[in-house]
Structure 1
Amino acid sequence: MHRTTTTVEDAVRRAQVLLDRHSITLLRWSLGFVFLLFGALKFVPGLSPAADLATRTVEALTFGLVTGPSALLMTATLETFIGITLLSGRFLKAGLAVLGMSLVGIMSPLVLFPGELFPAGPTSVGQYVIKDVVLVAGGLVVAAHALGARLTRREDVRH
C-alpha cells in the first residue's frame, strides 16, 4: 500500500507543478479567445446575439453621447483589443486596464435591463450576461497574476 500512496502523492505533485506553471496562462488564453471571438462578432452585422444589448448599454452609460453603430463599434474594438492582449501577452497590463474599465459595461445590463434579461427566467441574452460573471472572475485572477500575485499551496499560507 505504501507504493500506491507514493504513486498517488507523486501524481499530485506533478499535477501541482503543471497547474502552477500553466493554469494562469491557459486561463488568460481562454479569456482572450472569448473576448476576441465576441468582439469580432460585433463587427459583422447580425452575427452577435448581444449587439443590441451592447449598443443600448453603451448608449445608457454614455447618457446618449455614443449611440447606434458607434456604440457597437466601440464595444467591438474594446473587446477585440482585450482579446488580442490576453492571447498574445503583449500590452497585457493595458489590456487588463481596458478590461477593468469595461467591467462596468459588461455587468451593467444586470442593473439597467433586469426585466428584459429575466422576464420569467433568464432569456438567452440574460444567460449571455450571466456567464460574464465567470469572465470577470477570470480577469481578476489574470490581473492579480500580471501584477505579481503568485499561487500558493494552502500549507504555505500563514494565518
Structure 2
Amino acid sequence: MSSVPAAPGIQPVGLPPVPAVTFGIFDRLRAAEAGLKTFLEKWSVGALRVSLGLVFVVFGALKFIPGASPLESLVEQTWGVLTFGIVGGQLALILTAIIETTAGVLLVSGKFARVGLVVLALAFVGILSPIAFFPGELFTETGPTLLGQYIVKNVVLIAAALVVASKVLRGPARR
C-alpha cells in the first residue's frame, strides 16, 4: 500500500468506504434547544408567578398561627418602628399575614397578578426594613444570623417578582 493520500472522492483499494460526515445530530440538538426555549418562553414566567405566590401564601399563613413563624418578634418590632408604635403585637402579625397571603393569592390567580405585584411591593418594604432598623439582630461579625439569612434570601424573591412584572405589566416593550 502506498502512503500517498487518495484524491478526494477516490477510495483507496482494500479499505472500507468512508461515510460522509453529516451534522444531522447537531441539527437535531439545535432543534431540540429551540423547542425547549419556546416551551420555557411560554411557561416559565407563569410557573415562577405561581411558585412566588405560593411562597407568600404559605409564609403569610404561618403568621396567622401564633408561634408558627420564626419572625413573629421581628414582625412586631418592625411594625412598631414603621408606625411609630401605633401597630404592634398580634395586630402586626395579622396585618402581615393578610398582606402576604393576599399578594400570594393574587399572584397565583394570574388574573389579578398586577394587583398582587403592587401588594407584594408594599410587603417588600416591611420585609426589608429590618435590615435598616435591626442590623444587630440580623448580622454578627461572622455573618448573617438565621433571621438575617431569612431576610436576605428575599433578594431572590424580589428578582422573581421583577421577572413576573416584566411579563404581566401592560405597555409596550422597549428595546
Please, what TM-score do these two structures have when normalized by structure 1?
Answer: 0.89
Shift of 1:149: 7.0
> RMSD in angstroms over aligned alpha carbons?
1.8
The answer as to 2:164 corresponding to 1:142 is yes
| Correspondence list, 1:1-159, <5 A | 1-119=22-140, 120-148=142-170
Residues 123, 149 of structure 1: alpha-carbon distance in 2 compared, 3 angstrom cutoff: farther
Which has the higher relative contact order, 1 or 2, with Cα contacts under 8 A spaced 6 or more apart? 1
- Structure-2 separation of matches of 1:149 and 1:127: 36
Runs (4 or more) in structure 1 with deviation over 2 Å come to: 148-151
- Structure-2 separation of matches of 1:150 and 1:135: 25
Q: How many residues align?
A: 153
Shift of 1:16: 0.6
Gaps of 5+ in 1: 152-156
Gaps of 5+ in 2: 1-21
1:36-60: CA deviation from partner (whole Å, max 9, x where unpaired): 0000000001111112111211111
- Give the letter aligned to residue 52 of structure 1: S
Shift of 1:70: 0.7
Identity of aligned residues (%): 46
Between 116-125 and 40-49, report the one with greater CA deviation.
116-125
1:79-106: CA deviation from partner (whole Å, max 9, x where unpaired): 0001111111132222111111222111
Please, what TM-score do these two structures have when normalized by structure 2?
Answer: 0.81
Between 35-44 and 86-95, report the one with greater CA deviation.
86-95
Residues 150, 118 of structure 1: alpha-carbon distance in 2 compared, 3 angstrom cutoff: farther
- Give the letter aligned to residue 98 of structure 2: T
- Structure-1 separation of matches of 2:132 and 2:39: 40
1:112-148: CA deviation from partner (whole Å, max 9, x where unpaired): 1111111232111111101111111111111221114
What does residue 154 of structure 1 align with?
Answer: none
Specify which structure has the higher proportion of helix.
1
Contact 2:137–2:147 (CA under 8 A) maintained in structure 1: no
- Structure-1 separation of matches of 2:171 and 2:56: 23
- Structure-1 separation of matches of 2:107 and 2:154: 16
Larger of the two Rg values belongs to structure: 2
Contact 2:106–2:113 (CA under 8 A) maintained in structure 1: yes
Between 83-92 and 23-32, report the one with greater CA deviation.
83-92
Contact 2:76–2:89 (CA under 8 A) maintained in structure 1: yes
- Structure-1 separation of matches of 2:170 and 2:43: 15
